[in-house]
Amino acid sequence: MTKIESKRLGDCYYKVEHPSGLTILMAPMEGFSTAYAMFGTAYGSIDTCIKTAENGEFKKLPEGIAHYLEHKLFESEECSAFDRYSKTGANANAFTAFDRTAYLFACSDNFEESMEILLDFVTHPYFTPETVAKEQGIIGQEIRMYDDSADWRVLFNLLGALYHKNPVKIDIAGTVESIAEITSDLLYDCYNTFYNLHNMVLTVAGNFDMETVLKVADKVLEPAKDFYLERAICDEPDSVAENYVEQHLPVAVPMFNIGFKGKTGTEAENFCGSILDEIFVGALCDDFTKVYRELYDEGLINATFGSEVFCGRDYISIFLSGESREPEKVFDRLKKEFEHLLEHGIPEDVFACAQRSVYGHYMRSSERVTGVATTLFNCHFPGVDMYELLEIAANATPESVIERVKATYAPENSALSVVKP
SS3 call for 215: helix
CA dist 177 and 173 (Å) reads: 11
Res 78: pLDDT: 85
Res 100: pLDDT: 97
Res 38: pLDDT: 98
| Residue whose C-alpha is closest to residue 411's, from 335, 340, 321, 318 | 335
Res 310: pLDDT: 97
Q: Give the global pTM.
A: 0.95
- Taking only the tens of pLDDT, the chain with its 421 residues reads 999 999 999 999 999 999 999 999 999 999 999 999 999 999 999 999 998 877 778 999 999 999 999 999 999 888 899 999 999 999 999 999 999 999 999 999 999 999 999 999 999 999 999 989 888 888 999 999 999 999 999 999 999 999 999 999 999 999 999 999 999 999 999 999 999 999 999 999 999 999 999 999 999 999 998 888 899 988 999 999 999 999 999 999 999 999 999 999 999 999 999 999 999 999 999 999 999 999 999 999 999 999 999 999 999 999 999 999 999 999 999 999 999 999 999 999 999 999 999 999 999 999 999 999 999 999 999 999 999 999 999 999 999 999 999 999 999 999 999 999 9
Quick one: angle between helices 267-285 and 398-408, nearest 10? 110
> Quick one: which H or E segment has residue 298?
none
Check residue 225 and report its DSSP letter. P
Residue 78 burial by CB count (10 A; 0-12/13-18/19+): exposed, middle or buried? exposed
Residue 56 burial by CB count (10 A; 0-12/13-18/19+): exposed, middle or buried? exposed
Res 234: pLDDT: 86
Check residue 318 and report its DSSP letter. E
CA dist 277 and 263 (Å) reads: 12
Res 83: pLDDT: 94
Res 90: pLDDT: 97
Query: From the CA atom positions of the chain, what is the Rg in Å?
Result: 22
Domains along the sequence of the chain with CATH: 2-231 (3.30.830.10), 244-420 (3.30.830.10)
Res 134: pLDDT: 87
Res 110: pLDDT: 97
